[in-house]
Amino acid sequence: MYRFTDALIIGATGFAVGELVFPDGLQGAAPVHGFLTALCALGALLVFPACGLYGSWRGRSKAGLALRVLAAWVIVCLLALVAAFLLHQVGGVSRLWSVLWVAWSAIGLVASRVLLYGMLSSVRQQGINAKRVVILGYGPLGRDMYRRVQHIPGAGYDVVGIYDEAGATDLPGGVAPLATLDQVCAFVHARRVHEIWLTLPMAACRDLYSVVFHFRNDLVDIRWVPDIMSVELLGHRFSDFMGLPVIDLNSPPDSGVTGWVKASFDRVFAFAVLVGLSPLLAAIAIAVRLSSPGPVLFRQARLGMDGQPFHVYKFRSMVQHLDPGGVTQAARDDPRVTRVGAFLRRTSLDELPQFLNVLRGEMSVVGPRPHAIEHNELYKEIVDRYMLRHRVKPGITGWAQINGCRGRTDTVEKMRRRTEFDIFYIRNWSFVLDLRIIVYTAVHGWTGRDAF
């Protein structure tokens, strides 16, 4: 019935738009309009099921469903357009009718699902059409799954039993405690359980086969919820690898379209800054050259994305010297810092040449700050997840810097705090977040008590 409802929405919308656009309605318009309306309605009956629009959507994202509906509708429209082209009828199609019909059909298809799932959610909240569930494993993951069921009653799940080998004493009320797998099997039969959720810890995964074997003759759905959070480093992503489904546990941000947008913005922004501030850059270069003997730019080896080495550029702010014991961070009132260099460091103007690194693709405008290689070797052994900062391009400014983690990192706690901010940024990256950081840096981030 729902499939025919979708076809009816498409056909009725095409007819209604035709009545508005054409003086004599759709019947008085060129025959190709009626042909496209009928063809798309029929195409929806064939294409929409193949796109998975009529399967159960319990507990899944409704936004994802809406996007899938729109994608399926676009496919149907493209197929109809190809058919009209092959029949040499494209020239007779009204553009106004086409745009209005496609748009209003999309709205109708999405709105019908919003209405349907709203009604289903209301019904399920009353306990009707709910699926009975048994959770196997009541550790942190099992508790999280139970909380999600309680917070999303519209999904229509009712946890009726929990299996826990350790004999947890804090099981929620109204839920049957199950101590053995044999008890679980008997309970599944007695209560006619619909689904079993496996939320066992990673250490118990070796027993997964025996658990599944226990329920081989039970006609219930078994969902395995991998305990990936216990081993997650940066993020996780499900993908197809060599024809098999895999879970990537240390995935950096997606480098698809969003990565292309970030890389394009970086280069355009860096070019604009270098051109726009060229008079200031020239003045600073002259001042540095006159302040003390030595080159204008300071180059130092750093690690970029995935540990690739590169040389970062800065305006030289110190007198030329050698650090026999490795790289020594600048301290307040450091005698090595020149008078011009002190001003540049205090205002962060010494960082401006790093836009050359951005233009070369070695850095990003926003990202974790690159540290000296000697410091990486030191802190990677004592700060947990320190090297995960190098899964993305380093930046001129970052989430850690606008949250007060600037300047010298002379204690392990300071570096640990900076690392936590950097990992938060990597996990939660968005283009909007980058813009927020850039605006904050431009307004507040050039000076501060930790800049010296």
pLDDT in tens, 301-333: 999 988 899 999 999 888 876 555 555 555 555
The model's confidence at residue 254, banded by pLDDT at 50, 70 and 90, is: low
Residue range 132-183, pLDDT digits in tens: 999 988 888 888 899 988 888 888 888 999 988 776 777 888 898 888 888 8
pLDDT of residue 385: 82
pLDDT of residue 246: 75
Cβ distance 43 to 18 under 8 Å? no
**How would you label 324-358 residue by residue, b for 16+ Cβ within 10 Å and e otherwise?**
eeeeeebeeebeebbebbbbbbbebbbbbbbbebb
pLDDT of residue 276: 92
Pick the CATH number of 131-231 from 3.40.50.720, 3.90.870.40, 3.40.50.460, 3.40.50.12780: 3.40.50.720
Average pLDDT for the chain: 84
Of these ranges, 118-122, 146-150, 203-207, 355-359, the one predicted with the greatest mean pLDDT is 355-359
Q: Is the pLDDT of residue 96 over 80?
A: yes
Mean pLDDT of the 298-302 span? 90
Mean pLDDT of the 268-275 span? 94
Where are the chain's structural domains?
2-125, 131-231, 257-444
Q: Is the pLDDT of residue 249 over 90?
A: no
Least confident of 19-33, 110-124, 254-268, 351-365: 254-268
Q: Is the pLDDT of residue 291 over 50?
A: yes
pLDDT of residue 452: 46
The model's confidence at residue 280, banded by pLDDT at 50, 70 and 90, is: very high
Higher pLDDT, 406 or 359: 359
Higher pLDDT, 446 or 105: 105
The model's confidence at residue 445, banded by pLDDT at 50, 70 and 90, is: low
